[in-house]
Amino acid sequence: MPISVHEGLFEIQTRQTSYVFGVNEQGILQHLYWGKTIAAQECAYRLRSRSHSSFDAQVEREYEEYSFWGGVGYVEPTLKVRFSDHVRDLKMVYEGYRIVTDNGVEELILTLKDAHYDLLVHLHYKVIAEWDMIERYAEAVNAGKTAIVIENMQSAAWAVPYLPQYRMTHVTGRWSGEYQLRDTVLSEGKKTIESRRGFTGPHANPWFAIDDGTATETAGNVWFGALGWSGNWKIVAEKSSFNHVRVTGGINDFDSEWLLQPGETFTAPVFVGGYTPSGFGEMSRSFHRYQREYVLPGAATRKVLYNSWEATTFDVNVKEQIELAQKAAKMGVERFVVDDGWFGKRDSDRAGLGDWYVNPQKFPEGLGALIEKVKELGMDFGIWVEPESVNPDSELYRQHPEWVYHFPTRTGSQLRNQLLLNIAKPEVKQFIIGFMTELLSSHPISFIKWDMNRTITEPGLHGFPAGQQKEIWIRHVQSLYEIWAELREKFPHVEFETCAGGGARIDFGMLRFADQAWPSDNTDAFDRLSIQEGFSYVYSPQVMMCWVTDSPNGMNGRKLPLSFRFHSAMTGSLGIGGNLKEWSEEEIEEAGGHIQRYKEIRHLVQKGRQYRLASLRKSPQAAVQYVSDDRTESIVFAFLHAQNFGGRLPDLKLDGLAEHKIYDIEGIGDEVLQLHGSTLMNAGLPLPLRGDFDSVLISLKARE
Ligand code: GLA
């Protein structure tokens, strides 16, 4: 029984944790414990109000399960509203709970009601017992007769137990440098990570981890969470002067309001949280499994794809695409994707976006001729779209200038020469569903790469009343999710990738609809190792698309061996993105060998357990290992940045193996080595890496 209730105490039990809270004498939901399993009933003694002085009259409000803004509550609120009589104060009283079970998964739902107004709040806790996680979200129901304005509604507040020091780990980044890991010790005050740009953003990603400063990859207590929202979001870690730390998260309240009409419900997005006593590696593995089992729309193995963007950019034509497809097929590619440039008058990023008809000069016989050829070559076909955007130089914009977000007295900022469509307008939403339906029903297309290359600016919601203008940030995301949901239902055989100028819209909200994600436009295989490491903290290698591109790399001129480029990309879901017409016969053949090898091991990469063994943040070496659930199979990718002063690399300690099993090890020299799991994990494996930018793929198989 994951959920139990003992006289005013609620306990959520997962495989190795207890999460406990209760209703105190003030009727406040007070958080009591989150960590390794305990005897939860014994927490009753912790349930008490605590006054420090008249300035801190209710210290227990600092660890309220969900902070209603009103009365003596001053921590980061999770709900703040304005009633129609201008009262801005909540007094939410606990009303009751229910437990529902769906597909064997238990969910606790608590209900609170305002003492005066007909506002109800339901707090949801869905138990992901096997991965020690809880999905939380809140719902606000207006059961009264007048509208209520929601000024701020967060999904959840996670109270972290007392630690002598609190360290927060998160990522930062920018275009082409996404998912850079950072950590910071929290002092009194707030550390906020957020997006105010209309999408998830490359500058931060909505997840956090908290430890006491001593947790490592393999050991230590870590509390963590990730939010499923693809628009403006906010995660705040607040440390009070009483040394309480709580992490709140949800839709960003900046420039945001929601008008809740009588009878309506507003549902905040899911904020999943978890705890592990076994370090950051275990945290990531829990996140990976959770998303595969509870978030992603499907479990299919990712195909090896080819994408022509870096090869041809906007200069797309049927002849050249067929030439690329022939080379790709020869290498063993399974899916051919035409990127930007196939539609409208799209010869550069200055025009054509919004005109979703096949360009007749580039494809005189339509897309059919190319698709047929691709299919004949044994591959399936995918295509790029960016439906939310429009170039002012397009037929769509000339016909419907009022369809973009704008303020009437302002000239819209153009980013990448484009504006953003107001997809909250029903006719715009229908336009997108309409052209996508036409595209997908008139061609045998199996894959869509859905891009979004600008932020929201001048957020005027044309057609909506004055009191709802600030709903734009939420409405854009809601409408986007609805469009994806409808398309996925209409075209169940089509797989989708989320892309936003690289990795700017990847989160558990988007991943409920997308099968895979494009982490970065930076395809330099060395830079990618760091980006992919940061990505892997939360997101699974299965969704992480990695392309092998040309050397020297177009972005930084770095030259890397083909094997290094492949090994780096093989740590996720493999794609090829180079200009194959420039690749020699030997390179095509070598690439074919790597692709073949990838197909043999991809079940481990995509569905196995990932262990980060060495990081470029700490050494000139990076290494990542994947292990099958039954521990009989494993592979290791190791990379060397630069060897200095004739130094010998330390032996690489592996992880996740069975101690007593003997493994056959291939990839180090010509011999097959045989070592016990215990030796491999405690003494380590010698690495055959030398010089600059060297890499190796080592495979291990347990003997019967
Ligand atoms: C974005 C994407 C790229 C490519 C281009 C096309 O930058 O991230 O992969 O699709 O758009 O314009």
The catalytically annotated residue of 451, 515, 527, 550 is 451
| Ligand 1: centre distance to CA 501 (Å) | 5
Atom in ligand 1 nearest the alpha carbon of residue 449: 10
Other residues' Cβ atoms within 10 Å of the Cβ of residue 314 = 17
SS3 content of the chain, % helix, strand, coil (to 5): 25, 35, 45
Torsional sign, CA 655, 660, 666, 669: positive
Q: Which of 346, 453, 454, 546 to mutate to test the pocket of ligand 1 (most atoms within 8 A of CB)?
A: 453
pLDDT, tens digit (0-9, with 9 covering 90-100), for 602-660: 999 999 999 999 999 999 999 999 999 999 999 999 999 999 998 889 999 999 999 99
The pLDDT mean for the chain works out to 97
Residue nearest to atom 12 of ligand 1 (CA): 340
Residues with CB under 6 A from ligand 1: 309, 339-340, 384, 451, 453, 499, 501-502, 518, 521
Burial class of residue 518 (count of CB atoms within 10 Å of its CB; 0-12, 13-18, 19+): buried
- Reply yes or no on whether the pLDDT at 553 is more than 70: yes
Confidence of residue 531 (pLDDT cuts 50, 70, 90): very high
Neighbouring-strand partners of residue 449: 384, 497
Q: Which of 338, 384, 520 to mutate to test the pocket of ligand 1 (most atoms within 8 A of CB)?
A: 384
Active site residue 527: no
pLDDT, tens digit (0-9, with 9 covering 90-100), for 22-69: 998 888 899 999 999 999 999 988 898 889 999 999 999 999 999 999
pLDDT, tens digit (0-9, with 9 covering 90-100), for 338-369: 999 999 999 999 999 999 999 999 999 999 99
Which tokens in the block code for residue 507?
């989160």
What does the pLDDT read at residue 48?
A: 85
pLDDT, tens digit (0-9, with 9 covering 90-100), for 295-337: 999 989 999 999 999 999 999 999 999 999 999 999 999 999 9
Distance (Å, whole) CA 498 – CA 313: 19
**Over residues 467-496, mean pLDDT:** 98
Note if the pTM is more than 0.75.
yes
Alpha carbons within 13 A on the beta-carbon side of 629: 4
Distance (Å, whole) CA 697 – CA 691: 17
| Ligand 1: centre distance to CA 599 (Å) | 26
What does the pLDDT read at residue 50?
A: 87
Run of H or E including 482: helix 472-490
Q: Got the DSSP string for 599-653? A: HHHHHHHHHSEEEEEE-TTTSSEEEEEEE-TTSSEEEEEEEEEE--TTPPPPPBP
Strands (E), 29-87: 29-36, 79-82
pLDDT, tens digit (0-9, with 9 covering 90-100), for 240-272: 999 999 999 999 999 999 999 999 999 999 999
| Ligand 1: centre distance to CA 618 (Å) | 32
| Ligand 1: centre distance to CA 484 (Å) | 19
Atom in ligand 1 nearest the alpha carbon of residue 521: 8
Topology of domain 3-295 in CATH is Beta-galactosidase; Chain A, domain 5 (2.70.98)
Torsional sign, CA 64, 67, 72, 74: positive
Distance (Å, whole) CA 449 – CA 502: 11
Confidence of residue 1 (pLDDT cuts 50, 70, 90): low
Atom in ligand 1 nearest the alpha carbon of residue 502: 8
Run of H or E including 94: strand 92-102
- Reply yes or no on whether the pLDDT at 457 is more than 70: yes
| Ligand 1: centre distance to CA 174 (Å) | 15
| Ligand 1: centre distance to CA 522 (Å) | 11
The catalytically annotated residue of 521, 527, 550, 694 is 521
Atom in ligand 1 nearest the alpha carbon of residue 384: 10
CA 485 to chain CA mean position, Å = 18
Confidence of residue 425 (pLDDT cuts 50, 70, 90): very high
Torsional sign, CA 205, 210, 211, 213: positive
pLDDT, tens digit (0-9, with 9 covering 90-100), for 689-699: 999 999 999 99
What does the pLDDT read at residue 26?
A: 83
| Ligand 1: centre distance to CA 518 (Å) | 10
Active site residue 380: no
Residue nearest to atom 1 of ligand 1 (CA): 501
Q: Helix axis angle, 318-331 relative to 585-607, nearest 10°?
A: 70
Residue nearest to atom 8 of ligand 1 (CA): 501
Distance (Å, whole) CA 277 – CA 621: 27
Q: Could you give the angle at the alpha carbon of 298 between the alpha carbons of 297 and 302, nearest 5°?
A: 125
The two domains 3-295 and 305-606 share their CATH topology (first three levels equal): no
* Residue ranges per structural domain of the chain: 3-295, 305-606, 612-702
Is 305-606 a CATH 3.30.360.10 domain?
no
Q: Which of 521, 523, 528, 576 to mutate to test the pocket of ligand 1 (most atoms within 8 A of CB)?
A: 521
CATH class of 612-702: mainly beta
Q: Which amino acid is at 700?
A: L
From residue 617, alpha-carbon distances to 23, 155, 286, 529, 695 in Å are 45, 33, 23, 10, 17
**Are 231 and 473 a contacting pair, CB within 8 Å?**
yes
